[in-house]
Amino acid sequence: MRRYLFFFGLILFTIFTWTDCSNSYSDGKYLYEIHCQSCHMPDGIGLKGLIPPLAGSDYLKKNYDKLPCVILLGIEGEIVVNGKTYNQPMAGIPELETMDIALLINYINHQWGNDGKYTDFREVEANLQKCE
Amino acid sequence: MRTILFFSLTLLILSNCTEKKTLKILNRGEEVNGKMVYEKIRDFSFTNQDSIEVTNKTFGGKIYVSNNFFTTCPSICPTTSLHMGRIYDRFLNDDRVGMISHSIDVRTDSVPVLKTYANGLEIEAPKWNLVTGNEEEILAIAYDYFSNALKDETAPGGFDHDDLFVLIDKNRHIRSIAHGTDPKDVNRFMKDMEFLLKSEYSETK
């Protein structure tokens, strides 16, 4: 009997952690809406030649390791996204926790048709060590 | 009995449908010698991204859209600029329509800064004027456009302002207002613009 209870508990646990996993997008979405959407727009298209897109951005793939630093500390100077040059400083969002950054990156990497890598707390923390 | 009810209902619906759309003058007005006189946009003179003076005359015989922004505004401005951009694209080839965006951060937004922003937005004067000028005048004229523009250290970017788009007719009267961060409201606003164009330019014939 005990063993059954144990397995039952295990199954419940897995279901809960799973639903928790799928919730991570809605957390990321929430963070995106309060911190990023005003500039990168709800559908991730950015603003003409002023603010680069996140939807379909090749920058996300090419600079995957840099994303935590971009989000935390901002980015300045010329950058090229999908062949187009942008040069307007983006302020960082220093109050974000490591976990928030991971949630944000997973969100933008899997929205608007984007199909990027999944990241996690440990990887984000490691990449944050490399910020300039 | 039922048929009567049915007919009156259809009549009601039909009469509703045929009710004519109007765009009222939204300014405060009073009757003077049997005629309504409304407040209107005051005289102004600002400078656009090409260093060219923009005055009421710039919009003489035109209808125009006005809003406030500043180039370093992190909160609502990218969204309002996006939707002003939609208006720009839609009316680009219609010379009866003008646009003006007042920078309320005149210290930062010099003419070259406005020019860079205009290039980034991929827009040009004289269709869409990004203007700077005397700080007091810029903050004061916001009042005429029913808008708020105040210095506020606590607001993001140092200025407190709203997202209003305001439609002005040929007689400097306000005819429609929209929230420039709300895409649907901006759609409605553009319909109002087309309606105003139709009515303003047939009146004169």
User: pLDDT tens, position by position, for chain A (132 residues)?
Assistant: 677 777 776 666 666 555 544 555 889 999 999 999 999 999 999 999 999 999 999 999 999 999 999 999 999 999 999 999 999 889 999 999 999 999 999 999 999 999 999 999 999 999 999 998
The alpha-carbon radius of gyration of chain A (Å, integer) is: 18
Longest dimension (CA), chain A: 66
Does a cis peptide bond (omega within 30 degrees of 0) precede residue A68? no
Tens digit of pLDDT for each residue in B118-145?
999 999 999 999 999 999 999 999 999 9
Give the DSSP letter of residue B59.
G
* 3-state helix vs strand vs coil in chain A, percent to 5: 55, 10, 35
Task: Report if residue A19 sits inside a domain.
Answer: no
Which residue in the block uniquely carries the two structure tokens 């922004």?
Answer: B69
The domain of A99 spans 25-128
Whole-angstrom distance, CA of residue A118 vs CA of residue A110? 9
CB contact under 8 A, B120 and A41: no
**Contact criterion met (CB < 8 Å) for B122 and A47:** no
* Number of A–B residue contacts, CB under 8 Å: 33
Closest residue in B to A42 (Cα–Cα): B79
Whether A76 and A85 have beta carbons less than 8 Å apart is answered as: no
Q: What is the pTM of this model?
A: 0.80
CATH architecture for the domain at B2-202: 3-Layer(aba) Sandwich (3.40)
B79 close contact with A: CB closer than 8 A: yes
Q: Are B74 and A38 within 8 A, CB to CB?
A: yes
B154-197 pLDDT, tens digit each: 777 778 888 999 999 999 999 999 999 999 999 999 999 999 99
Interface residues of chain A, partner chain B, Cβ below 8 Å: 38-39, 41, 47-51, 88, 91
Domain ranges of chain B: 2-202
Cα–Cα distance measured from residue B162 to residue B80, given in angstroms and rounded to the nearest whole number: 10
Q: How far apart are CA B16 and CA A48, in angstroms?
A: 42
The CATH number covering residue A60 comes to 1.10.760.10
User: Where does residue B33 rank: exposed (0-12), middle (13-18), buried (19+ CB within 10 A)?
Assistant: exposed
Are B85 and A48 a contacting pair at CB < 8 A?
A: yes
All residues at 6 or more sequence positions from A11 whose CB lies less than 8 Å from its CB, including other chains: none
Q: Give contacts of A41 with chain B, Cβ < 8 Å.
A: 78-79, 82
Q: Which of A52, A87, A90 is nearest to A72 (CA)?
A: A90
What B51-60 contacts at long range (C-beta under 8 Å, 24+ apart), as own/partner pairs, is B51/B111, B52/B125, B52/B126, B54/B100, B54/B129, B54/B131, B56/B172, B58/B98, B58/B126, B58/B129, B59/B98, B59/B100, B59/B168, B60/B170
The Cα angle at residue B12 between residues B7 and B18, in degrees rounded to 5: 120
Q: Is B159 helix (H, G, I), strand (E, B) or coil?
A: strand
Instruction: Compute the distance between CA of residue B34 and CA of residue B40 in angstroms, rounded to an integer.
Output: 19
State mean pLDDT over B4-15.
63
Residue A93 resides in a domain: yes
Contact criterion met (CB < 8 Å) for B78 and A88: no
- For chain A, what is the domain count? 1
Q: Do B74 and A39 touch (CB under 8 A)?
A: yes
Query: Among A34, A35, A48, which would you mutate to test the B interface (most chain B Cβ atoms within 10 Å of its Cβ)?
Result: A48
- Please tell me the distance in Å from A48's CA to the nearest CA on chain B: 5
Q: Could you tell me which residues come within 8 angstroms of residue B21 by beta carbon, excluding any fewer than 6 positions away?
A: B195
How far is B76 from chain A, CA to nearest CA, in Å? 6
What is the rounded distance in angstroms from the CA atom of residue A111 to the CA atom of residue B111? 38
3-class DSSP state for residue B160?
strand
Residue appearing with tokens 């923390």: A125
Q: What band does B203 get if pLDDT is binned at 50, 70 and 90? A: low
Give me the residues of B, 87-126, that contact A with CB < 8 A: 117, 119-122
Among B69, B120, B75, smallest CA distance to A88 is for B120
